[in-house]
């Protein structure tokens, strides 16, 4: 399988995890698209230190690949779905910054820059095209499992904010694809083996229940969920996801922090212990034998 290489190899300063390559999600036009725009960065915002990248107008999604060192890799791969309210994607604060943390546990990271909603038809759910991109991403990971030293039954997601909404739908979809197959890659499973949903955004509809697409079953996979009490995108959505999994006796872990707001990604927040969610997630991954000690 060949994909256009977008950038050259670049290793982190710590020399612990390495940016391997960036690949396109679809071999040509993505489903329903007429453009191959890979997006552009919005102007930086004043006062952000370190700065945050916000990509808009993504019509041809791609994946940045950060492979754990071979002597540490344990076969687990995580597809990261950043946030951005569907109008943009934040690939660093809610994406690549997770790579070093995951690599310390022997986990390889795949950051998805999914399609944004500028060209989404009015009646189409905002999560639909990002969902297609995410399902395709999981299939690409499994199709390249030998090349990237992955185990096909240890492929999961880490999803933030709007990406968390996509992740919740993806988790509930199990192995039901949201697009028609385009090549041999689509013979692979598009089901996540586990999900880490970090402040999933707007997963509750106007009636106060989970979106109708977020319905779990005894076939659902384990999940780790984080939210804050003072998040304007209510933590009740995360609670309902946990309840939905609990009703079917699916292993799940839920953490609601008192404060920390929304959009913290991998970064600490002043006067909050929200950054400790990474430690709780690491414990959960190790408990499930998906991560190892650094």
Q: Is the pLDDT confidence value at 178 over 90?
A: yes
pLDDT of residue 70: 87
Structure token digits, residue 126? 């905002």
* pLDDT at residue 110 is higher than 80: yes
| Average pLDDT over every residue of 122-148 | 97
193 pLDDT exceeds 50?
A: yes
Cα–Cα dist 117/257, whole Å: 30
User: Tell me: domain 10-287, CATH 3.40.50.10860, correct?
Assistant: no
Q: Output the CA torsion sign for 99, 102, 106, 112.
A: negative
Domain ranges of the chain: 10-287
pLDDT at 12: 41
How many whole angstroms separate alpha carbon 107 and alpha carbon 201?
25
Q: What pLDDT score was predicted for residue 19?
A: 84
Residues 6+ apart with CB under 8 A from 119: 33, 35, 59
Please give the pLDDT value at position 293.
54
Helix, coil or strand: residue 210:
strand
> What's the Cα-to-Cα distance from 20 to each of 13, 51, 111, rounded to whole Å?
14, 23, 12
The arithmetic mean of pLDDT across residues 203-232, rounded, is 97
**pLDDT higher than threshold 60 for residue 124:** yes
Section 198-224 average pLDDT: 97
Q: Which of 220, 221, 224, 171 minimizes the C-alpha distance to 196?
A: 224
Select from 135, 161, 137 the least CA-distant residue to 148: 137
The DSSP letter of residue 183 is S
User: C-alpha distances in angstroms, 245 versus 64, 184, 221, 238?
Assistant: 31, 32, 9, 11
Q: CA-CA distance, 22 to 12, in Å (whole number)?
A: 15
| Rounded-to-integer distance, Cα 158 and Cα 180, Å | 25
- Token pair recorded at residue 245: 């999994």
Give residue 15's pLDDT band: very low, low, confident or very high (50, 70, 90).
Answer: very low
Strand partners, 198: 160, 226
CA distance readout (Å), 241 to 35, 66, 85, 234, 278: 35, 29, 20, 12, 20
**What was the pLDDT predicted at 18?**
72
> What is the structure's pLDDT at 17?
55
Tokens 């034998």 found at: 289
pLDDT at 13: 39
The confidence score (pLDDT) of residue 292 equals 81
The CA distance from 96 to 99, in Å, is 5
- Copy the structure tokens of residue 95: 């994406």
């Amino acid at each position: 399988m060949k994909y256009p290489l977008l950038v050259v190899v670049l290793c982190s300063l710590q020399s612990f995890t390495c940016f391997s390559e960036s690949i396109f999600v679809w071999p040509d036009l993505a489903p329903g698209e007429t453009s191959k725009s890979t997006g552009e960065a919005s102007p930086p915002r004043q006062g952000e230190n370190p700065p945050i990248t916000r990509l808009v107008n993504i019509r041809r999604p791609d994946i940045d690949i950060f492979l754990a060192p071979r002597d540490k890799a344990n076969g687990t791969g995580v597809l990261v779905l950043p946030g951005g309210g569907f109008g943009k994607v934040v690939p660093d604060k809610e994406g690549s910054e997770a790579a070093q943390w995951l690599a310390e546990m022997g986990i390889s990271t795949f950051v998805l820059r999914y399609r944004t909603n500028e060209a989404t038809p009015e009646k189409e759910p905002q999560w639909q095209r990002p969902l297609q991109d995410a399902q395709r991403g999981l299939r690409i990971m499994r199709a390249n499992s030998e090349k990237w030293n992955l185990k096909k039954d240890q492929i999961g997601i880490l999803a933030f904010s709007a990406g968390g909404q996509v992740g919740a739908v993806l988790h509930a979809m199990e192995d039901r694809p949201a697009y028609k197959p385009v090549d041999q890659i689509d013979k692979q499973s598009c089901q996540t083996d586990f999900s880490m949903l970090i402040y999933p955004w707007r997963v509750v509809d106007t009636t106060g229940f989970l979106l109708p697409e977020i319905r779990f079953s005894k076939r659902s996979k384990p999940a780790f969920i984080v939210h804050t009490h003072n998040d304007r995108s209510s933590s009740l959505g995360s609670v309902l996801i946990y309840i939905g999994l609990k009703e079917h006796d699916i292993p799940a872990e839920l953490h609601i922090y008192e404060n920390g707001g929304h959009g913290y990604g991998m970064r600490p927040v002043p006067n909050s212990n929200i950054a400790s969610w990474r430690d709780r997630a690491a414990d959960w991954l190790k408990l499930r034998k998906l991560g190892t000690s650094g």
